[in-house]
Amino acid sequence: MAPMRLTDLLQVLTVVLIWGLNFAAVKLTVAALPPFALTALRFGGVALLLSPYLRFGRGDLRALLQLALVLGVGHFGLLFLGLKGADAATTALLIQLGVPFSSILAAIFFADRLGWRRGVGMAFAFAGGALLAGEPGGGTPLAMTALLVSAFCWAGSNIIIKRISHIPPLSIIAWMSLLSVMPITLLSLLLEEGQWQAVTTAEAHVWGLFAYTLIGSSIVAYALWFRLLGRLSLNQVVPYTLLAPMLGVASGVLLLDEAFTLYKAVGGAMTLAGVAFIQWRQLRLRGA
């Protein structure tokens, strides 16, 4: 196991800072641009910037198409839709339910034994999620449903990624982005209106926030993250990911003036405690 150097720690903290602030950035952006149209623009930009990595084996196209639908459309598309109607702070916490969903899917597809300890962690996480989803004024029913399905799709994408782990990570991101553009654009054309007017009249700060999401969250953060995972063990870096939702809550409350309610405090604490326990058990079982 390689020791964590100061430069590694700074990179980990940079990643969680980028991801944590991204909830507020997207929340402000979807206030000006329709969420599906914004997602299509994001993926088009990522595919363009990562075009040198657009290579894969001939037998991988089906899995990449599945990943585009599950991760691109199901997770990111519904995440942006959810942020349109829910607080950034609530979103940052609720989306963490992807961790217990992943444990359930791993048990189904890989015969991964959950055990009672992870079961307790999952119960805490889902109970906290129920409190968050039930907060009066925290978000519309459509937004809360979209976020829950988004978290589940993130978990499902991990199953697909395991099957194509031989493909370089940046190639996966590039192809997932490219193949997601068409279905997301179709959803935007069918379910949204005023896209062209929104794009042409958006103010400069909207495009600045879009650039932050496109370059910072989609490319820089993931490039740093993959590098860290390649050099260090999981138990050296994964615990830091819990800082991202905390920063997401802080950015929603401090930057967007969202109310920090008892629902967010209790529900968020329960969700993060459950997620932390699940991750701790998984790391111990892997011996990472």
* Per-residue model confidence as pLDDT tens digits over 191-224: 999 999 999 999 999 999 999 999 999 889 888 8
First to last CA, the chain: 9
Per domain, the residue ranges of the chain are 6-286
Q: What one-character-per-residue DSSP string does 117-182 give?
A: HHHHHHHHHHHHHHHHHT-TTSB-HHHHHHHHHHHHHHHHHHHHHHHTTTS-HHHHHHHHHHHHHH
DSSP 93: H
Whether 184 shows a pLDDT value over 80: the answer reads yes
* Per-residue model confidence as pLDDT tens digits over 89-108: 999 999 999 888 888 887 78
Whether 79 shows a pLDDT value over 60: the answer reads yes
> What's residue 188's pLDDT?
96
> What's residue 233's pLDDT?
67
* Per-residue model confidence as pLDDT tens digits over 12-41: 899 999 999 999 999 999 999 999 999 999
Whether 288 shows a pLDDT value over 60: the answer reads no
Q: Give the pLDDT mean for 233-252.
A: 82
> What's residue 248's pLDDT?
92
> What's residue 285's pLDDT?
64
> What's residue 160's pLDDT?
87
Higher-pLDDT residue of 70 and 160 is 70
Whether 146 shows a pLDDT value over 80: the answer reads yes
Higher-pLDDT residue of 234 and 192 is 192
C-alpha 94/C-alpha 221 separation (Å) is 21
Work out the mean pLDDT of the chain and round it to a whole number. Answer: 88
Tell me which of 67-76, 135-144, 201-210 is least confident. 135-144
Whether 57 shows a pLDDT value over 90: the answer reads no
pTM: 0.90
